Chains A and B, each alone.
Chain A
Amino acid sequence: MDTSQLLKGVLDLAVLAVLRSEDGYGYDVLRRLRAGGLDEVGDASVYGTLRRLYNAGLLTSYVVPSEEGPHRKYYSLNEPGRQRLAESGRTWRSFAHTLDDLLGVVA
């Protein structure tokens, strides 16, 4: 099964999840996703997702100057973002549970 197709549907949730405990800039988020096991996630997809979540009002951002290279824009989860994370998390769990049940029938 092509995981990149699955990833499209849940990338929002994954990005919100890795920002839950700690703010991060784009590359941070990318690294955390990859470290978490989502190897196939595309660089541009992560940046695009961050923009979309930010435009949807689920993230706030602030700029931190960096001595080496360009300044970095950090994203952090705001209250609507946390709520969305909780909702989407529940949706995902129930979905995953449903699919597990179905697979149980098949197997």
Chain B
Amino acid sequence: MSSTHTRVEVQDYLARMRTALADLPDVEISEIMDDAGAHVVEVADELGEEFSADALTTRLGTPEVYARELRAAAGYPPAAAKAEVPPKPVFAARFAFWSLVAGTAAAFGMGIGGRDGFPLALLVAVFVVWSIVLLNRKEPLIGQVGDLPETLALKAALEQAEQGPLGKTIVYLRSLQPAWWLARAFLIAISGLVLEGIGVVFLFSLALAALALLSGPRAKTDRRWLWVSLPAAAFAAGTLLFIIGSVIPNTRYNDSYPTSYAPVQRTVPSNVYVFDKDGKALTDVYLYDEDGKPLDSSFYGCGEDGREYREDNRYPRPKVDYDSRGNCREIGGVPFAVSIPRTSSFPSSASATSTPSGSVTPPSSVSEAPPTAPTSK
């Protein structure tokens, strides 16, 4: 059935398939070639007069595609990329790659640091300029950078991200790229203006902005422009975050000053003396704040075994003294007298009516913290 003529194409097809499976165990390869080899021959026979290498490829796909589909269905790992020629790690290429990473990171730090980030400019300049000089001196260097294992890993990760759930977002963001190129050039120019006003720095930042604007579309075709484009993007992104960051904290601090976040230490004087409008001293008064909370303060009174710690809101505190036998005594009373100025503008009736309802001690808080009864005296 199969003429010698068809066999050459078929053998060629099978040979290419075998190559595409070459990294699998030998037993597997020979089993697959038994099966699939028979299949290819059979398909070739079916084509009959129509047979040609092209017809076979149309019917089955290229041998590489066939092999890939078979591997996927059989659960074999996908073919290792270029396993036969491991790229020799090239120092200069590696330096250029990691300089790009470092330069981009430093540019980001420079942007987000605002004025404080300015010294990082030196770091960015060293990395970026050195790499660009290197890349322009040796033509093949950029290709070597592309073949670095770290570059390949990064590319693979990006491709995977594009196929993942974020794929649509990435495609959408990519469509915004030209706008971003404009925005970042603007941000770079502005940052120079903010830093020094109109002067040498501003002129310099204008030049950089123009370069950044150019680098966006250029980097698509000439990867060397990435060494300008990526740090520019990182710097612009950092600057943007800096601007956002310097606007937001102001409002945040004003809005939510912690009123109840941390318990504010109430300052209660160590003792309080209260007099009525006639200058008569009042004793055993209980003090509350505007929320009805007792204005407790700590106090060492007398207990059964000498001094005793209390914390309540009963004022004035008695004076603590010791008698000749060393016993603790609490002495009440007010050690001084005052004269209350009589003012007609502040009549007693007015003060009574203007007493706000809040001064009525909420019963709940009283029941929660009843004034403690004196323990001794």
Residues on A facing B (Cβ under 8 Å): 11, 25-27, 30, 42-52, 54-55, 63, 68-73
Contacts and interface: CB of A to CB of B under 8 A. Distances in A.
B36 A44 contact: yes
Contacts of B37: 70
Contacts, number: 79
B73 interface: yes
Contacts of A72: 38
B39 A49 contact: no
Interface stretch (B26-34, B266-274, B280-288, B366-374): B26-34
A49 B74 contact: yes
B38 A25 contact: yes
Contacts of A52: 73-75
Contacts of B60: 43-44
A70 B74 contact: no
A52 B76 CA distance: 9
B150 interface: no
A51 B38 contact: no
Interface of B: 1-2, 28, 31-32, 34-39, 41-43, 45, 60-61, 65-75
Contacts of A50: 35
Given A49-B74, A51-B32, A68-B1, A27 B42 contact: yes
A72 B35 CA distance: 7
Which one of B2, B34, B45, B68 has the highest number of Cβ atoms from chain A below 10 Å of its Cβ? B34
B73 A69 contact: no
Contact of B67 (A44, A49, A73): A44
8 contacts: A25-B35, A43-B39, A43-B60, A44-B70, A44-B73, A54-B31, A69-B38, A72-B38
Contacts of A68: 1
B74 A48 contact: yes
A28 B42 CA distance: 11
Nearest to B45: A69
Given A50-B35, A51-B35, A69-B41, A44 B2 contact: no
* Closest A-B pairs by Cβ, 8 of them: A48-B73, A48-B74, A44-B69, A48-B70, A44-B70, A45-B73, A51-B74, A44-B66
A53 B32 CA distance: 13
A10 to B, nearest CB: 12
A29 B170 CA distance: 41
Contacts of B69: 42, 44-45, 48
B73 A11 contact: yes
Given A51-B32, A51-B35, A52-B75, 19 more contacts: A25-B38, A26-B35, A26-B36, A27-B38, A27-B42, A42-B73, A43-B39, A44-B61, A44-B66, A47-B36, A47-B70, A48-B73, A48-B74, A49-B74, A51-B28, A69-B1, A69-B2, A70-B34, A72-B38
